Amino acid sequence: MEKQIDTAQAELRETFRGGKTRNPKWRKSQLKALLKFIKDDEEEICQVLHQDLGKPSAECFRDEIGVLMKSINYTLENLDSWMAPKSAPVPLMALPTSAQLVPGPLGLVLIFSSWNFPFCLALDPLVGAIAAGNTAVIKPSEHAPSTSAFLAKKIPMYLDSSAVRVFEGGPDMGELLMSKKWDHVFFTGGQNAGKCIMSAAAKNLTPVTLELGGKCPAILDALSSEREFNIAIRRITNAKWGLCCGQICIGVDYLLIEEKHVQSAIELLKKKIKSYYGNDPQKIGSMSRIVNKHHFTRLRGMLEEPGVASTVVHGGFMDESNLYIEPTILLNPPLESGLMTEEIFGPLLPIITVNKIEDSIDFVNSRPKPLALYAYTNNKDFKKRILAETSSGSLTFNDSIVQFIVDTLPFGGVGQSGFGRYHGKFSFDTFSHEKAVLTRNLLLEFSFGVPPWNKQKVNILRSAYKYDYFNLILKLLGLK
């Protein structure tokens, strides 16, 4: 297998050196081919996602197929402007000079995808890599084997095999790939695996983008009316249980609410769960399942920790034979338990009460920085405090998850939740190097910047560095 990787890398690098991937027509043709793949095989995509995760077809389209189609179309609409060089102003000292920022591809990139959205998270970064003019290798997650095999089969049928390859396998394959030199590594997954990726990349000084996870809190204020409170609960319900059975890095991991409002919130959550999934969510077919036995056992272990079972106020039923765990609500579980120290990645929702909602800021800040922070409030002063006093990859007011589909916003973490960002132009930028290009005229030459030195030259230099006369004149003339 190592020989196959070496051969593939050599061929992909030769393609890149040949310049084919830099051609705008080639980039667009590959993006259009990717779009055709999705449209042609939508039904089969849904089938493999159901095999791996039990995803309903509507969830497949909403969270993976639709998201990816939107991303490709947005990229195609804007690619010409993203690729265009951008003029940069220059100071008086550099005249006569012009300056530009010229984006160029990095080279050969490696993309690791995650199992919870195994189709979208494999191909969405690839959209940025292709748009930027790179060659790429995709390593799908072995925990979604049907999707992985499907991608390995279908990608060569639609995309240029001299520029894009797929390598399947488990941790051994990941380690083997990371032992090689890449021009960039893009990883989506857990923090422990992210540390391994970063450590291996350091050996070759390979830059990395790490899209990790973390415990994403939702702060629920009293809001202005019963109707608004009801809408907030509906959105939290969907964000917790409506996407891949809670197995999502930007899902609501725990809820913070004032003690005086907690009972009404719990009752509303119960009603929303019933309205979405009926009396028996396992039978209605609207919820994904736990990905495998390992993660089922991990989640069950969280519920079986000392002091946790007594805090369950709704749900808790488990069926190992079907990898099913009922939507479960817990009230004030021990803060030292796994539920409150580890990313849950499942259908368990701890609710933590605070005396006053402003205390939630200190609670969030006492823990690692989250990938996403959600706050349901109409209090302008409280919003300002949350924005100024907390740190998170993203901050969304009065909704959850929706920030992921906004291509004009970057998606990425901060601190332990990862670093680097993508989506829309941010994907293009991640897989590009913006080269500084300066061109100076040979017709004119100023002598005050070179020896022999005298006081007059120094005074001119002081003035030139203090004031940018060139840009000042442009502003006065209304040209800037």
* Residues with active-site annotation: 211, 249
Q: Distance between CA 42 and CA 60 in Å, rounded? A: 9
3-state helix, strand, coil in the chain (%, to 5): 50, 15, 35
- Long-range contacts, stretch 80-85, CB < 8 angstroms, 24+ apart: 80/24, 82/131, 82/425, 82/428, 83/24, 85/437
CB 393 within 8 A of CB 413: yes
| Closest C-alpha to 250, from 356, 50, 404, 117 | 404
For the record, the structure tokens of 87 come out as: 């003029």
Q: Distance between CA 120 and CA 69 in Å, rounded? A: 10
CB 255 within 8 A of CB 352: yes
| Closest C-alpha to 389, from 400, 373, 378 | 373
Task: Count other Cβ atoms within 10 Å, centred on residue 167.
Answer: 19
Which of helix, strand or coil describes residue 224? coil
| Closest C-alpha to 326, from 260, 367, 382, 277 | 277
Q: Distance between CA 113 and CA 55 in Å, rounded? A: 18
For the record, the structure tokens of 311 come out as: 């805090």
Which of helix, strand or coil describes residue 144? coil
| Closest C-alpha to 350, from 363, 337, 367 | 337
